[in-house]
Amino acid sequence: MSLPVKTLKNGFSLPVLGLGTWKMGGDRHYNPDNDDQKDIAAIQLALELGFTHFDTAESYADGHAEVLLGQGIAEHERSALTIASKIWPQNMAYDNVIPSLRASLKRLNQEYLDIYYLHEANHDVPFADTAKALNEAYQEGLIKNVAVANFLPETFDKMQSHLQMPIVANQVHYNLMNREPVVHNMLEHAQKNDYLIVAWRPIRFSHRNHDAKDVWHKGEYPIVDEMAEKYNKTNIQIALNWLANQSNVVTLVKSSNPHHLNEIIQSIGWEMTAKDTERLTQEFPHQRHVSEAVPLS
């Protein structure tokens, strides 16, 4: 299956669904007991199913998620893929950016990244310094595009003013429950400024700070159950389709489980009506206005 893409006016595009790698290889730190082969097999299955956008970060499992992603995509035609990684805020001083980027490329066994994200804003480092290094990395061909994550619109504008190239995406916590990006008018900001909102954590709602049930639990969110029944889909497929239906929005979902990946890919290729999409937007219960995972700044 070839996934539909969202294309910006400047020509940059991303498929509506991409594969995330948070928790592949460990948590924040590398887990030596991790089942690496399972994660690599999941990436390879995702490629077979039609995923072409893969997201990782230097901070995932101490960089081991990048190693697994590199191994998973090794046999695939590189030009058909969009590979994204992220630099952690503590590495955003001018002198640290290119060494961090080169270390990510080495772990991934790649010559370039399609997207290099600033993982969160670092307000202690002059934005001009970080941007200078990114401009150089772009000139050298080490990165094809720059993006940001968890940036408020005003922070986005400030960083953009120092960059030679357009920021193509802001990756933010956005799902049926977490509406913080909407509170900050980020969808409008993305549409107006021609970039994509990449919605992270689209289906997992539980978190160490609260006990919300994940979207796949039947009986927790009656409106999702109702839509799932109406369209003969699963709750996860409803939650992902809801995101994919929105202008300038694509999403990233993580799974290392083949059954889950097969379920996820079937979120696309059909559409809820605009009325049902709007009902989910309005009527989904327990909406949150501040991310419990990563705050915007």
**Binding positions for ligand NAP, rule: CB under 6 A:** 20-22, 55, 119, 149-150, 171, 200-204, 216, 236, 252-257, 260, 263-264, 294
Which CB sits closer to ligand NAP, 44 or 136?
Answer: 44
**Smallest distance from the beta carbon of 139 to ligand NAP, in angstroms?**
25
Beta strands in the chain (DSSP E): 5-7, 13-15, 17-20, 53-55, 82-87, 115-118, 146-149, 167-173, 196-200, 249-253
Cα–Cα distance measured from residue 141 to residue 114, given in angstroms and rounded to the nearest whole number: 10
Between 12 and 60, whose beta carbon lies closer to ligand NAP?
60
Residue nearest to ligand NAP (CB): 20
Give the separation between CA 242 and CA 272, rounded to whole angstroms: 8
Residue 203 CB, nearest approach to ligand NAP (Å): 4
How near is the Cβ of 285 to ligand NAP at its closest, in Å?
Answer: 18
Residue pair 153/185 in contact by the 8 Å Cβ criterion: yes
Residue closer to ligand NAP by CB (options 21, 34) is: 21
Segment holding 71, helix H or strand E: helix 64-73
In eight-state DSSP terms, residue 53 is: E
CB of 6 to ligand NAP, least distance (A): 17
Nearer to ligand NAP, 68 or 133 (CB): 68
- What are the φ/ψ torsions at residue 81 (nearest 5 degrees)? -110, 155
